[in-house]
């Protein structure tokens, strides 16, 4: 499913583009899980409900499933085949944590599809900010799933956007946000409390994708991979040290990417660093998590880096706590989208003779008004 944030018309920019920011979800595809299974499947429907009721500007649509070809950008054909055909072994299913079912395949495809669509909206449609109300399945490797993750949505979408970014090429010019002779660089900001081990492994030898992970040192996965930048936090970490570490990590990441800045980011806004999370082991408050989201979205917005936001993990003792935290993330993403749109309002001086408008900051063509 996809959610579209509809915003009030802006006085100048709105004349030049329709007002809509996008989020996507797939909560109609629910896994049949045995009674007592610890995965909170109900939170996806609850989040969609909370967004629909509490954020009236958001319009919801269903995400498209990712195709085999799209999945193959980050996964081995043998793994895609085993999942699709239902020939995964008991051990492989145990490592994922879900029993195989046709619904599991559908949900996994759409979870990736929703992140692809969010990335396209953010990068290619010039929305700047878009979201998947699920996704962030960062424990999936090229050849296997793990930790409730079947396919790695962000890895697939990152590679697909690198292949598709030429669609943003200015007429007769180079692609926006891409230095001459170089491809689209992607930044993954993974703030789920568990390390993004699958994502780190997929991009280990790929300098075009910078992986940043802040996670609990003593938490799953117990064998960590090497991200481009890993920050390990002790059990019980509270707001202030967390936000200080985040601040430092983001500065360091941008410094290390100075020669080839990112033109697209994925933000895994896991709710599981929260103090009441069953699996988190950290002690962030709701306000601390909101500050975290604001900080990341501001750091990207200031640099005009489009971002696809995914919800990633959240295992509150009370599911309503997790849903409230994620709803807040969506609300802050919406605010970031509004700032992006306000900043993107092109001046009339950008109008070409044929009436085509170009946003001076991004170089993206601006669609005609509807």
Binding site for Zn ion (CB under 5 A): 192, 194, 270, 272, 313
Q: Which residue is nearest to Zn ion (CB)?
A: 313
Coil, helix or strand for 188?
A: strand
Q: Give the nearest distance from C-beta 136 to Zn ion in angstroms.
A: 8
Q: Smallest Cα–Cα separation from 264: which of 152, 132, 164?
A: 164
The smaller minimum CB distance to Zn ion, of residues 216 and 346, is found at 216
CB of 13: closest distance to Zn ion in angstroms? Answer: 37
Dihedral sign of CA atoms 239, 47, 8, 339 in order: positive
Of 313 and 346, CB closest to Zn ion: 313
CB of 43 to Zn ion, least distance (A): 13
Nearer to Zn ion, 168 or 194 (CB): 194
Name which of 157 and 271 has its Cβ closer to Zn ion.
271
Q: For residues 295 and 246, is the Cβ–Cβ distance under 8 A?
A: yes
CB of 312 to Zn ion, least distance (A): 6
Cβ proximity to Zn ion, 64 vs 276, nearer residue: 276
Q: Select from 326, 370, 358, 292 the least CA-distant residue to 126.
A: 358
Q: Which two tokens stand for residue 268?
A: 């895994």
- Number of other CB atoms surrounding residue 109 within 10 Å: 26
> CA distances (Å), 193 to each of 138, 226, 332, 345, 359, in order?
11, 16, 19, 36, 37
User: Residue 150 gets which letter from DSSP?
Assistant: S
Residue 286 CB, shortest distance to Zn ion, in Å, is 17
């Amino acid at each position: 499913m996809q959610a579209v944030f509809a915003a009030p018309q802006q006085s100048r920019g709105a004349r030049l583009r329709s007002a809509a920011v996008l989020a996507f979800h797939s909560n109609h595809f629910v896994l049949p899980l045995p009674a007592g299974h610890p995965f909170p499947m109900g939170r996806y429907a609850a989040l969609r409900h909370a967004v629909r009721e509490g954020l009236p500007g958001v319009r919801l649509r269903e995400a498209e499933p990712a195709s085999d070809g799209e999945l193959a950008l980050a996964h081995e054909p043998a793994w895609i085949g085993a999942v699709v055909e239902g020939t995964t072994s008991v051990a492989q299913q145990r490592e994922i944590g879900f029993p195989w079912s046709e619904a599991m395949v559908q949900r996994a495809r759409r979870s990736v599809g929703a992140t692809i669509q969010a990335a396209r909206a953010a990068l290619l449609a010039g929305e700047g900010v878009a979201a998947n109300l699920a996704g962030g399945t960062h424990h999936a490797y090229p050849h296997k799933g793990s930790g409730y993750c079947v396919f790695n949505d962000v890895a697939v979408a990152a590679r697909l956007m690198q292949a598709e970014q030429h669609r943003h090429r200015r007429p007769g010019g180079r692609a926006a946000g891409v230095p001459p002779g170089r491809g689209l660089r992607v930044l993954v900001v993974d703030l789920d409390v568990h390390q993004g081990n699958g994502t780190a492994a997929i991009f280990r030898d790929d300098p075009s994708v910078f992986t940043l992970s802040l996670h609990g040192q003593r938490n799953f996965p117990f064998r960590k991979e090497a991200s481009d930048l890993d920050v390990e936090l002790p059990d019980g970490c509270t707001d202030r040290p967390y936000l200080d570490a985040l601040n430092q990590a983001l500065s360091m990441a941008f410094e290390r990417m100075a020669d080839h800045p990112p033109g697209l980011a994925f933000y895994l806004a896991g709710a599981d660093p929260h103090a009441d999370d069953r699996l988190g082991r950290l002690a962030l408050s709701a306000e601390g998590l909101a500050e975290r989201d604001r900080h990341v979205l501001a750091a990207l917005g200031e640099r005009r880096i489009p971002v696809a936001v995914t919800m990633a993990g959240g295992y509150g003792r009370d599911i309503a706590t997790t849903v409230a935290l994620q709803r807040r993330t969506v609300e802050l993403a919406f605010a970031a989208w509004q700032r992006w749109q306000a900043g993107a309002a092109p001046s009339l001086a950008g109008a070409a003779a044929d009436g085509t408008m170009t946003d001076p900051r991004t170089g993206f063509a601006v669609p005609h008004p509807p």
